[in-house]
């Protein structure tokens, strides 16, 4: 890359690192580079794109962080894509990863809730839960209603988490539940990477910096 | 008669005014007894027999006029006796079918006349005269006499009834005679009851079970419900509280018949009766009997509920079917289920549960484990309970039972808790089965097995019933386990979280998880890679593993290995949870061994590495501390096995524990000190605790405000302070004062035992005793000599014994009244305590004033009688204690003689094989022998050869006292010669080669005494006694010098006499 480009990245990194919580300037630089590489892979045609599109982002989630659930991956994309323009911009990428990789519990609660709030109405409804959990149980063909187990699971979950008893989870409900029992953070599907994939990703991205 | 008739005799339901005596063996024997009493009354008590009853006894007889012979005026069918009362009225009057009798003489004649029908006559008489006493004596007298029935003094009774009529004396005599009969009858009944128990817990249980069976069967059902008031079953099978069990009561039932009001029923060994309403334990008034006693529940219910009486007969038929062979059929699947096959269909499982429950019963071994009860509760006899539950739910009783449960739960501690917690659910209220060994099950009447075979036949129906019967938790947990089995990670985590919401400390839930196969799933989850699932699973396991059976099941399923493996995980939460679970599971030996064998000890020790004493911790460090704390908890549990203690040491655990000991947090310190305290039983740990400077921290924590921590610290010091350097360190670090201040916590017995133990061991150092005195420890200790549990007493007495080595303390003990307390403790049975008590008494007896008190309290006799104790330790410490007693008693010789058989006892103990006993007995004999008369008795009992036999010993302690005893025993008759003949002299000479100064002293004395016999002198001389004696003469001990010189002199005199003899002959 040209020297100018490098200069540009440096200044960019400086501004972004001030806005982002968990990365220092050097790390931001690395992330920018990684972003550019990913972006480059995507823009085969050569024309400029405003950011990572859904497909590319999902393949990143799948390949690097081992996620499989389409719905959850869509949710993660939606959460990264703060301005809702169907692209994850560089800034969104770095801000998202800050929580994704190194977020505090508070940040992660917000993040997860946003992922699970499929329609963005600030509530996780029964239907949304059902939707997210529908593949989580082995269906027993012998049963009359194969979805009965899921429905029951949703009810059990609601009973546990719906503190204000309005039949849906508000952010307050969710936050309270997670604080009571941390295991409920990813209650409706894995939307955060596990420690090994975080390690390998960071290793891969930040190592380059050391080499340079 | 009144008592036995109302209480013991078995009356049929008194529905129509007069009851009938049933023809049971018991009643028959009662009748025979009464009959023979009546028959002989006329001849045995002629005077009383003439007494005219206040009211005639009147009954319908089968006798007719023709049965009567002379002495009777017979007119038509009527008969009048020629015997008349003062007013000329006949004493017997028969107008068929009624007969009226007014005196015992007539009664007695009547039964003679009745001949082979006499039993029937007596029965009829008793049935129609329910209160014979009242009729015989008149109501006023009878009531007075009955009230006074504890007072057996005839005269005072006569006084009491004097104003009731002139013939009161006769009445009293009559009453006493009747009362005698009554007592006789009662004791006969008791014999009968004891011989062939009519009702026992098993019988009651069987009957209740069978009634439960029959109470729900649709239109034919005989009862609405029947349930116990208490779910807790004592080990003897009773449910009544112990203070009621004393009265023979076994359990209380609440029965709702279909047609009448609810009955509260007591089942006692004497029979069943309606009570005042025992709905909750604790209301004394409820226990009062308000009905007749019936032989069983059926009879009671028949009398109370016409509906029951009408329907039970059809039921009886079904119930009495013989046990079928089906019982055996399902044995095979049981084993399969035991191994836990998670995928088994629910139906099959349930069936197996039946079988398992039955097997447990048959095996008898698992008798009182609540687990099969769980099963029984709903599964094994489900059809019996559905009705019961419905009703108990609808009524307010459920609530009261809940309250009762809570009350019990709060009050009961430890072991009982687990059992009681099982009774928490409404469904359990009617839990019917008390486990009994198969052998004790009566085969008659309401055989359990027969009702079970019924179940088998009615399976489809019953299954439906049973669904409604189990506590809702059971089904919810079963559903959750199903999701666990068939769910992905997300569903699993959600389900685990839902499961955590159950009260996992409750046995119902714990066992439900196991019984529906949840335990296998939870353990399987531990072997997955999913951190969250593992965390969730461990969070549940650590709770349910508080249950003994769950612990065993986890180990049986190999779960402990998985948990140990997790200790290596990089995730700290996981490590902490795993360690915490191990802390719970490793409560029994096999589990502890498993932990060790899978390398768990090393891993746990590794967890201890953290920096506990930093002022502020980062989140990460805080987690490390938590991990270390859980590790310490686990090690604490594991450290109860000796091999594990060693393993912890080898894994380098001691220095790590030492570091954690500096932690400021109680929750960390308790497991750490607990582990150290546990391990301090090992020498290596005691040394390490002392050398690694842990005493300082232990002392510091003595002043914590947590009782448990203080207890463990004191206990650690107790165990370590057997070593002198440790005792000194405790003093150095000012640990003595906190120990003394712990004595004020007399309410916490465990703490008190540990503190007094530490004080005892510390007071072995005399410097410590002096220090303790500054804090007035002795005064407090003496106060603790009464009303304490034995484990406290042992230590207190031990400490008092150590304190009493200082003369000033002996007076303090006396002034505080300690002598009396100590002497009182001499009558105990705890051997450790007796050793310490005799020690202390011995120490106190060295003070003359104390001795006077001991003597006055007959303490010497008590100590002496402890020589009979089987424990050698007690024997020797008692003998040691006797020495100062004999020394200091005022008239010791007389006192010793007054103990009958005492001297023989002591001489016989010389046959002991225990050197310490021998030494102590020798010492005592030396003291006793100072009194010539007693020495004579000792000699008669053969003390000389017995002493001589021991002389070959090499034990210096024994040698010293043996020589002393020999020396003193020489002073009587020909004992010197006898010792010589018995070969005691030569070995004694060898004693002079011993390095022990004390041995020399007593030996020199003995030799001096022995040398007064020429033959002994020759022996001594031959054995080369002179040289060492001359050496000993150079000692600075005057006594020793004198004895040695005296001995040499005797030898010399003999030699000179010899020479003279040679020269002059």
**What b/e sequence results for B352-382 when a residue is b if at least 16 CB atoms lie within 10 Å of its CB, and e otherwise?**
bbbbbbbbbbeeeeeeeebbbbbbbbbbbbb
pLDDT band at B41 (very low <50, low <70, confident <90, very high): confident
Q: For A188, which residue in chain B has the nearest alpha carbon?
A: B490
**What contacts B457, CB < 8 A, 6 or more positions away?**
none
What distance in Å separates residue B493's CA from the closest CA in chain A? 7
> What stretches in chain A show pLDDT beneath 50?
1, 212
Average pLDDT over residues B674-697: 89
Rounded-to-integer distance, Cα B201 and Cα B319, Å: 19
Bridge partners (DSSP) of residue B100 are B58, B93
Packed helices B831-844 and B848-856: angle between N→C axes, nearest 10 degrees: 130
Percentage with pLDDT > 90 across chain B = 19
Rounded-to-integer distance, Cα B606 and Cα B601, Å: 9
Rounded-to-integer distance, Cα B905 and Cα B890, Å: 22
Query: For the ranges B101-115, B206-220, B503-517, B825-839, which has the lowest average pLDDT?
Result: B206-220
Q: In degrees rounded to 5, what are phi and psi of residue B981?
A: -65, -35
Residues of B in contact with A190 (CB under 8 A): 489-490
**A156–B480: do the CB atoms touch at under 8 Å?**
yes
Residues of A in contact with B487 (CB under 8 A): 136-138, 153
**B490–A153: do the CB atoms touch at under 8 Å?**
no
Nearest to B9 by CA among B26, B198, B25, B18: B26
Instruction: Identify which of A152, A181, A186 has the shortest CB distance to residue B500.
Output: A181
State in words which class domain A107-186 has.
mainly alpha
Cβ pair B760, B722 in contact under 8 A: no
pLDDT band at B22 (very low <50, low <70, confident <90, very high): low
**What contacts A209, CB < 8 A, 6 or more positions away?**
A26, A27, A29, A30
Which of B410-424, B605-619, B921-935 is modeled with the greatest confidence? B921-935
pLDDT the model gives residue B336: 38
Coil vs helix vs strand at B280: coil
Average pLDDT over residues B1018-1025: 87
Rounded-to-integer distance, Cα A136 and Cα A156, Å: 14
| Contacts A–B by Cβ distance under 8 A | 64
Rounded-to-integer distance, Cα B642 and Cα B597, Å: 14
What distance in Å separates residue A7's CA from the closest CA in chain B? 37
SS (H, E, C) B703-767: CCCCHHHHHHHHHHHHHHCCCHHHHHHHHHCCCHHHHHHHCCCCCCHHHHHHHHHHHHHHCCCHH
Coil vs helix vs strand at A124: strand
Bridge partners (DSSP) of residue A137 are B487
What is the secondary structure of B890-950 as a DSSP string? TTHHHHHHHSTTHHHHHHHGGG-S-HHHHHHHHHHHHHHTTSHHHHHHHHHTTHHHHHHHH
**What b/e sequence results for B178-216 when a residue is b if at least 16 CB atoms lie within 10 Å of its CB, and e otherwise?**
bbebbeebbebbeebbeeeebbbbbbbbbbbbbbbbbbb
Reported as a single tens digit per residue, the pLDDT across B253-283 is: 888 777 777 778 888 877 788 887 765 555 5
Global confidence as pTM:
0.60
Residues of A in contact with B500 (CB under 8 A): 181
Rounded-to-integer distance, Cα A39 and Cα B830, Å: 86
What is the secondary structure of B822-848 as a DSSP string? HHHHTT---HHHHHHHHHHHHHHTTSH
Rounded-to-integer distance, Cα B748 and Cα B745, Å: 6
Q: What is the mean pLDDT of chain B?
A: 76
Q: Is the pLDDT of residue B441 over 70?
A: no
**B488–A153: do the CB atoms touch at under 8 Å?**
no
Average pLDDT over residues B36-45: 77
Q: For A137, which residue in chain B has the nearest alpha carbon?
A: B487
Rounded-to-integer distance, Cα B803 and Cα B817, Å: 15
Q: In degrees rounded to 5, what are phi and psi of residue B223?
A: -140, 155
Packed helices A195-211 and A54-65: angle between N→C axes, nearest 10 degrees: 100
**B491–A190: do the CB atoms touch at under 8 Å?**
no
pLDDT the model gives residue A211: 53
SS (H, E, C) B350-410: HHHHHHHHHHHHHHCCCCCCHHHHHHHHHHHCHHHCHHHHHHHHHCCHHHHHHHHHHHHHH
Instruction: Identify which of B488, B535, B571 has the shortest CB distance to residue A183.
Output: B535
pLDDT the model gives residue B198: 57
Rounded-to-integer distance, Cα B84 and Cα B82, Å: 6
pLDDT the model gives residue B148: 52
Instruction: Identify which of A136, A160, A181 has the shortest CB distance to residue B491.
Output: A136
pLDDT band at B961 (very low <50, low <70, confident <90, very high): very high
Cβ pair B296, B317 in contact under 8 A: no
Interface test with B, best of A140, A183, A184 (most B CBs within 10 A): A183
Average pLDDT over residues B557-574: 92
**A156–B498: do the CB atoms touch at under 8 Å?**
yes
Bridge partners (DSSP) of residue A52 are A88
Coil vs helix vs strand at B112: helix
Q: Domain ranges for chain A, please list them.
A: 6-68+80-103+194-211, 107-186
Interface test with A, best of B342, B484, B487, B491 (most A CBs within 10 A): B491
**Residue B756 CA: distances (Å) to CA of B105, B541, B780, B781, B813:** 74, 38, 10, 8, 16
* Residue of higher predicted confidence among B352 and B986: B986
pLDDT the model gives residue B437: 39
Instruction: Identify which of B488, B497, B501 has the shortest CB distance to residue A183.
Output: B497
Q: Is the pLDDT of residue B674 over 60?
A: yes
**Residue B497 CA: distances (Å) to CA of B473, B491, B500, B533, B559:** 15, 10, 5, 10, 20
**B494–A157: do the CB atoms touch at under 8 Å?**
yes
What distance in Å separates residue B486's CA from the closest CA in chain A? 5
Q: For A177, which residue in chain B has the nearest alpha carbon?
A: B497
Q: Is the pLDDT of residue B33 over 60?
A: yes
Q: Is the pLDDT of residue B422 over 50?
A: no
Give me the count of residues in chain A.
Answer: 212
Q: Quick one: residue A166, left, alpha or beta (phi over 0 = left, psi -120 to 50 = alpha)? A: alpha
Instruction: Identify which of B488, B498, B532 has the shortest CB distance to residue A136.
Output: B488
Q: Is the pLDDT of residue B581 over 90?
A: yes
Reported as a single tens digit per residue, the pLDDT across B539-565 is: 999 999 999 999 999 999 999 999 999
Cβ pair A35, A41 in contact under 8 A: no
pLDDT the model gives residue A141: 65
Q: Is the pLDDT of residue B983 over 50?
A: yes
Cβ pair B415, B286 in contact under 8 A: no
Q: What H or E segment, with its residue span, contains residue B556?
A: helix B548-556
**What contacts B741, CB < 8 A, 6 or more positions away?**
B775
Q: Is the pLDDT of residue B576 over 50?
A: yes
* Residue of higher predicted confidence among B241 and B626: B626
Instruction: Identify which of B479, B496, B501 has the shortest CB distance to residue A152.
Output: B479
Q: Is the pLDDT of residue B353 over 50?
A: no
* Residue of higher predicted confidence among B689 and B461: B689
pLDDT the model gives residue B40: 78
CA-CA-CA-CA dihedral for A68, A72, A74, A79, to nearest 10: -130
Nearest to B863 by CA among B847, B848, B844: B844
Interface test with A, best of B477, B490, B504, B618 (most A CBs within 10 A): B490
Which of B276-290, B399-413, B767-781 is modeled with the greatest confidence? B767-781
Average pLDDT over residues B437-447: 37
Q: For B534, which residue in chain A has the nearest alpha carbon?
A: A183
Cβ pair B770, B810 in contact under 8 A: no
* Residue of higher predicted confidence among B599 and B469: B599
Rounded-to-integer distance, Cα B262 and Cα B266, Å: 13
What's the complex ipTM?
A: 0.91
What distance in Å separates residue A6's CA from the closest CA in chain B? 37
pLDDT the model gives residue B537: 94
pLDDT the model gives residue B1060: 87
Measured at the CA of B628, the angle between CA B622 and CA B634, to 5 degrees, comes to: 145
pLDDT the model gives residue A44: 56
Show the beta-strand stretches assigned E in B39-187.
52-60, 72-75, 78-81, 92-95, 98-103
Residue ranges of B 554-573 with Cβ closer than 8 A to chain A: 570-571
pLDDT the model gives residue B59: 80
């Amino acid at each position: 890359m040209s020297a100018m480009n490098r200069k540009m990245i440096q200044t960019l990194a400086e501004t972004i690192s001030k806005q982002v919580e968990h990365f220092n300037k050097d790390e931001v630089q690395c992330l920018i580079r990684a972003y550019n590489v990913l972006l480059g892979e995507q823009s085969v045609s050569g024309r400029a794109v405003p950011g990572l599109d859904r497909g590319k982002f999902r393949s990143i989630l799948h390949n690097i962080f081992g996620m499989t659930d389409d719905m959850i991956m869509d949710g993660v994309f939606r959460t990264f894509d703060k301005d809702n323009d169907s692209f994850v911009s560089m800034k969104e990428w770095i801000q998202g990863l800050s929580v994704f990789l190194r977020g505090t519990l508070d940040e992660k609660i917000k993040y997860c809730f946003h992922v699970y709030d499929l329609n963005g109405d600030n509530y996780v409804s029964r239907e949304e839960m059902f939707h997210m959990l529908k593949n989580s149980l082995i269906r027993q063909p012998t049963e009359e209603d194969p979805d009965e187990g899921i429905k029951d699971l949703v009810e059990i979950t609601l009973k546990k988490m719906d503190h204000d008893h309005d039949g849906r989870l508000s952010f307050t409900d969710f936050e309270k539940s997670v604080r009571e029992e941390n295991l409920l953070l990813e209650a409706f599907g894995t939307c955060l990477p596990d420690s090994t994939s975080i390690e390998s990703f960071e290793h891969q991205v930040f190592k380059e910096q050391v080499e340079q | 008669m009144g008592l036995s008739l109302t209480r013991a005799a078995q009356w049929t339901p008194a529905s129509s005014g007069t009851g009938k005596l049933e023809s049971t063996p018991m009643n028959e024997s009662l009748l025979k007894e009464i009959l023979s009493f009546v028959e002989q009354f006329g001849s045995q008590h002629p005077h009383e027999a003439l007494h005219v009853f206040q009211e005639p006894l009147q009954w319908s007889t089968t006798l007719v006029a023709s049965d009567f012979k002379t002495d009777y005026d017979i007119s038509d069918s009527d008969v009048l006796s020629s015997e008349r009362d003062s007013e000329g009225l006949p004493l017997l009057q028969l107008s068929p079918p009624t007969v009226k009798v007014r005196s015992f003489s007539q009664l007695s004649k009547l039964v003679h006349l009745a001949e082979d029908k006499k039993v029937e006559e007596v029965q009829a008489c008793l049935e129609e005269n329910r209160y014979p006493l009242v009729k015989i004596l008149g109501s006023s007298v009878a009531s007075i006499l009955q009230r006074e029935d504890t007072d057996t003094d005839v005269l005072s009774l006569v006084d009491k009834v004097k104003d009731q009529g002139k013939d009161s004396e006769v009445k009293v005599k009559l009453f006493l005679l009747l009362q005698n009969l009554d007592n006789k009858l009662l004791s006969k009944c008791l014999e009968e009851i004891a011989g062939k128990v009519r009702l026992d817990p098993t019988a009651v249980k069987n009957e209740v079970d069978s009634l439960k069976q029959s109470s729900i069967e649709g239109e034919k059902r005989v009862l609405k419900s029947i349930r116990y008031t208490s779910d807790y079953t004592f080990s003897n099978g009773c449910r009544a509280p112990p203070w009621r069990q004393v009265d023979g009561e076994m359990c209380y039932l609440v029965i709702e018949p279909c047609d009448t009001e609810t009955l509260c029923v007591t089942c006692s060994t004497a029979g069943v009766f309606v009570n005042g309403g025992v709905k909750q334990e604790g209301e004394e008034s409820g226990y009062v009997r308000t009905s007749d006693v019936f032989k069983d529940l059926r009879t009671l219910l028949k009398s109370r509920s016409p509906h029951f009486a009408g329907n039970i007969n059809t039921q009886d038929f079904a119930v009495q079917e013989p046990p079928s062979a089906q019982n055996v059929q399902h044995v095979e699947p049981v084993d399969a289920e035991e191994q836990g096959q998670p995928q088994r269909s629910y139906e099959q499982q349930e069936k197996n549960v039946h079988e398992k429950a039955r097997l447990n019963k048959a095996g008898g071994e698992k008798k009182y484990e609540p687990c099969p009860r769980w099963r029984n509760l709903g599964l094994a006899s489900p059809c019996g309970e559905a009705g019961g539950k419905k009703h108990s739910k609808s009524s307010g009783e459920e609530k009261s039972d809940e309250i009762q449960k809570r009350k019990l739960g709060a009050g009961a501690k430890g072991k009982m808790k687990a059992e009681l917690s099982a009774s928490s659910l409404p469904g359990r209220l009617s839990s019917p089965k008390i486990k009994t060994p198969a052998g004790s099950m009566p085969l008659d009447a309401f055989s359990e097995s027969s009702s079970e075979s019924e179940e088998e036949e009615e399976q489809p129906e019953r299954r439906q019933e049973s669904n409604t019967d189990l506590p809702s938790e059971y089904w919810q947990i079963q559903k959750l386990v199903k999701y666990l089995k068939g769910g992905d990670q997300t569903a699993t985590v959600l389900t685990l979280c839902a499961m955590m919401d159950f009260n996992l400390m409750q046995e119902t839930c714990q066992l439900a998880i196991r019984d529906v196969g949840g335990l296998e799933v939870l353990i399987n989850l531990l072997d997955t890679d999913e951190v969250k699932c593992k965390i969730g699973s461990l969070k549940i396991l650590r709770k349910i593993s508080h249950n003994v059976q769950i612990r065993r099941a986890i180990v049986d399923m190999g779960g402990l290995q998985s948990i140990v493996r997790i200790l290596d995980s990089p995730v700290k939460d996981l490590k902490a949870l795993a360690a915490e679970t191990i802390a719970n599971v490793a409560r029994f030996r096999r589990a502890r061994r498993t932990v060790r064998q899978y390398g768990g000890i090393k891993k746990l020790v590794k967890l201890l590495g953290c920096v506990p004493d930093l002022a502020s911790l980062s989140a990460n460090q805080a987690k490390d501390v938590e991990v270390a704390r859980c590790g310490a908890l686990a090690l604490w549990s594991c450290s109860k096995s000796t091999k594990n203690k060693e393993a912890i040491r080898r894994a380098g655990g001691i220095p790590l524990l030492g570091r954690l000991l500096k932690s400021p947090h109680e929750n960390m310190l308790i497991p750490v000190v607990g582990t150290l305290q546990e391990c301090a039983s090992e020498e290596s740990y005691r040394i390490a605790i002392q050398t690694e400077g842990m005493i300082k921290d232990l002392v510091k924590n003595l002043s914590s405000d947590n009782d448990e921590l203080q207890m463990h610290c004191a206990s650690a010091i107790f165990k370590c302070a057997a070593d002198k350097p440790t005792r000194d360190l405790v003093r150095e670090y000012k640990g003595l004062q906190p120990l003394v201040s712990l004595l004020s916590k007399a309410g916490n017995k465990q703490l008190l035992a540990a503190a007094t133990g530490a004080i005892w061991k510390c007071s072995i150092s005399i410097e410590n005793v002096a220090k303790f005195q500054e804090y007035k420890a002795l005064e407090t200790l003496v106060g603790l000599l009464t009303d304490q549990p034995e484990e406290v007493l042992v230590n207190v007495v031990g400490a008092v014994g150590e304190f009493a080595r200082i003369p000033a303390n002996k007076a303090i003990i006396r002034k505080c009244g300690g002598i009396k307390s100590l002497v009182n403790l001499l009558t105990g049975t705890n051997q450790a305590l007796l050793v310490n008590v005799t020690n202390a008494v011995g120490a106190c007896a060295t003070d003359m004033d104390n001795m006077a008190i001991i003597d006055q309290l007959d303490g010497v006799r008590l100590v002496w009688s402890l020589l009979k104790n089987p424990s050698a330790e007690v024997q020797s410490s008692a003998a040691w204690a006797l020495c100062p007693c004999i020394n200091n008693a005022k008239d010791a010789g007389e006192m010793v003689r007054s103990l009958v058989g005492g001297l023989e006892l002591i001489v016989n103990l010389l046959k002991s094989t225990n050197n310490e006993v021998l030494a102590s007995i020798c010492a005592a004999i030396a003291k006793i022998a100072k009194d010539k008369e007693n020495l004579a008795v000792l000699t008669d009992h053969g003390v000389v050869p017995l002493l001589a036999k021991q002389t070959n010993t090499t034990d210096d302690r024994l040698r010293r006292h043996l020589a002393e005893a020999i020396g003193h025993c020489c002073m009587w008759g020909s004992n010197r010669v006898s010792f010589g003949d018995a070969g005691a002299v030569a070995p004694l000479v060898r004693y002079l080669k011993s390095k022990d100064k004390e041995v020399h002293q007593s030996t020199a004395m003995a030799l001096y005494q022995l040398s007064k016999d020429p033959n002994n002198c020759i022996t001594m001389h031959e054995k080369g006694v002179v040289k060492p004696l001359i050496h000993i003469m150079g000692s600075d001990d005057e006594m020793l010098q004198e004895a040695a010189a005296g001995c040499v002199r005797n030898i010399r005199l003999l030699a000179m006499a010899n020479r003279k003899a040679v020269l002059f002959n």
